[in-house]
Amino acid sequence: MEHDILFEIGIAIGIIAAAGLLASRLRFSIVPLLILAGLAVGPHIPQFWIIDLSFINSTPLIDFMGRLGVLYLMFYLGLEFSVGRLLKASSAILKTGLIYMAINFTIGVLFPFLLGWPIKEILVTAGIMTISSSAIVAKVLVELKRAVRPETEMILGLMMFQDVFVAIYLSIVSGLVLTGSTSPEMVLKSASVALGFMIGILLLGRKLKSLLNRLLDIPSDEVFMLCLFAALIMVAGFSESIHVAEAIGALLVGLVLAETEHVERIEHLVVPFRDFFGALFFFSFGLSIDPLALPGAVWPAVIAVLLTIIGNFVSGMISGRISGYSHRASVNIGLTITSRGEFSIILAGLAEAGALSPILQSFAALYVLILAVLGPLLTKESKWIYAQLGRLFKWPPLVEKSRRKQKPNIVAESQ
């Protein structure tokens, strides 16, 4: 019944709001709390009087709003860096990004291979273990007031490289998983269609920049928003119809519109939708997980978490030192990019759509949950971690300001 669905949606949003309030009180990332909230309810929960936490009637609608959340998250990320900025910083991003990918993607492939998983599961797991969460990393940088630190530029560069990597990787893997193609010819064809679609959209967007500026010169915010979201949903839907992940279509729309003179207005309008539907996305992901199935994925997830922390730390140190950053800044880089989130969940959803091994859902849920909790903690405690490792590896000591003398005692390594 319609009123039942509305009541269930209201309860779901109430739970999400409570998770947000708790995260705010704890000064912690909201992502793991939203996933936990979804895990805590669902089909296995009995009904209490008129309060039904199983969300059986409303699950399709919650899932759909979660899909919109992915679109708005990816669209917003596309707005954050234009194609022009991407090309300008391409040399530095390419160098550090390749180092990061070489280390972490190799780990992501070898680990499921040693577990004996099939090739499609290996490819999905490699993506899950390689790609950091731009949303969590950006939120942590803002919360810890590290946006002005010099190493933050490299962290954002790595995020940009990963965003481009995930666009290509998702296209290739989605073509393989969703079409079921296994021959090299079919994989190449799927990848070519996906890459051709992406390149075509970007080139067309740059070519039509002046036209887009004129078309979007709409006084009414209401009409402006309707035109914007119509383009977003249509391109995302078309992407899905040619077996390219809908999230990639949303990212492409963001990249194209980032080139226009209306980007600030677009960001201002899209942020509330990104936050609201994005929260529903993480909640719906937790809702889709059967807690009883999680124990079977505990050890693979725990080992993968340890490998990811090591891989991210080593790649961050190498990238930072090669680029001339201090040991402390390099430690910050390695620890800040550890969190996993939306991209890993998108890949897990892709595995579900492709009817791959069910363990991937449980694995991704536990893996993302643990790293979404540990990532912000490691970033926050990076100073203490540097001090401990500094004694072991003989790194320069930290700058310690004397409150009495009001001047630094040691200046060998900046904080």
DSSP annotation of 384 reads: H
Kindly tell me the sign of the dihedral angle through the C-alpha atoms of 71, 77, 80, 84: negative
Distance CA 338, CA 384 (A): 17
59-80 vs 246-257: helix crossing angle, rounded to 10? 40
What residues are paired with 51 via a beta bridge? 48
Distance CA 195, CA 179 (A): 16
Q: pLDDT at position 125, please? A: 93
Q: pLDDT at position 73, please? A: 79
AA identity, residue 388: Q
pTM (2 d.p.): 0.71
Q: pLDDT at position 184, please? A: 62
Q: pLDDT at position 410, please? A: 39
How much of the chain, in percent, has pLDDT values that exceed 70?
A: 84
Q: pLDDT at position 108, please? A: 93
Residue 297 and residue 359 in contact, taking contact as beta carbons nearer than 8 Å: yes
> Could you read off the pLDDT of 229-263 as tens digits, one per residue?
999 999 989 887 876 778 778 878 888 888 889 98
On the 0-12 / 13-18 / 19+ scale of CB atoms within 10 A, 195 is middle
Question: Cβ–Cβ contacts within 10 Å for residue 66, how many?
Answer: 23
Q: pLDDT at position 409, please? A: 42
DSSP annotation of 407 reads: E
What residues are paired with 201 via a beta bridge? none
Question: Cβ–Cβ contacts within 10 Å for residue 253, how many?
Answer: 26
Q: pLDDT at position 179, please? A: 63
Q: pLDDT at position 376, please? A: 82
Of 162, 161, 175, the closest CA to residue 350 belongs to: 175
Buried b (16+ CB within 10 A) or exposed e, 209-248: eeebeeebeeeeeeebbeebbebbbebbeebbeebbbbbb
Q: pLDDT at position 120, please? A: 85
What residues in the chain have per-residue pLDDT under 50?
1-2, 402-415
AA identity, residue 345: I
Residue 275 and residue 80 in contact, taking contact as beta carbons nearer than 8 Å: no
